[in-house]
């Protein structure tokens, strides 16, 4: 199993709020619906391919639906989303750590089975994806979700 981690990020919100929002995918849907008019046309079009439920996120892809389910939660420090339906076995782990009462440190980790012969080709993109996801986590409006 290969692992790709984001850089640690600081979130200007308490750990309990961050954990509650990230462990409930339906909270993303509420935020997206409230802000859909401010999104670019291509982003709105791509969001039509994503479904958010209380315990899963499903993304329509050319290879069929990719479903990520909340597989493990350790309140308030860790949430693991695992591929329940995907062409490759993978999981996304979100680690949280309190810095103080109003700040949380987060780090995203992508774990997946990558055949050795293609790891050199896809590794840099996976590393970049993990870093971008980690940065995105730090920019979410947790208090308004």
Q: What is the DSSP string of 107-135?
A: EEEEEE---HHHHHHHHHHHHHHHHHHHH
Q: Give the tens place of pLDDT for each residue, 11-68.
A: 999 999 999 999 998 888 888 788 778 777 887 787 788 888 888 988 887 778 888 9
Give CA–CA dist 131/6, Å, rounded: 4
Cα distance from N-terminal residue to C-terminal residue, the chain: 33
CATH superfamily of 2-144: START domain (3.30.530.20)
- CA angle, residues 17, 70, 100, in degrees to nearest 5: 25
Enter the tokens of residue 123. 């590794």
> Residue 69 has what pLDDT?
94
> Residue 13 has what pLDDT?
96
H/E stretch holding 33 reads helix 26-35
Please report which confidence band the pLDDT of residue 82 belongs to, taking 50, 70 and 90 as the band edges: very high
More confident residue, 107 or 84: 107
Nearest in space to 20 (alpha carbons), one of 133, 139, 107, 143: 143
Give CA–CA dist 8/90, Å, rounded: 21
Mean pLDDT of the 79-101 span: 92
Kindly state the percentage of the chain with pLDDT values over 90.
Answer: 43
Checking if the pLDDT of 129 tops 90, the result is: no
């Amino acid at each position: 199993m290969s692992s790709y981690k984001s850089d640690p990020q600081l979130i200007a919100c308490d750990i309990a709020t961050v954990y509650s929002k990230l462990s409930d995918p339906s909270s993303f849907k509420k935020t997206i619906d409230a802000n859909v008019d401010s999104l670019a046309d291509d982003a709105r079009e791509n969001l039509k391919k994503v479904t958010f439920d209380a315990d899963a996120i499903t993304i329509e892809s050319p290879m069929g639906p990719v479903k990520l389910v909340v597989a493990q939660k350790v309140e308030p420090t860790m949430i693991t989303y695992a591929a329940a339906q995907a062409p490759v076995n993978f999981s996304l782990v979100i680690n949280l750590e309190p810095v103080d009462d109003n700040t949380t440190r987060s780090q995203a980790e992508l774990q997946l089975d990558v055949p050795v012969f293609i790891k050199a080709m896809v590794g840099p993109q996976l590393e970049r994806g993990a870093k971008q996801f980690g940065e995105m986590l730090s920019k979410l409006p947790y208090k308004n979700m």
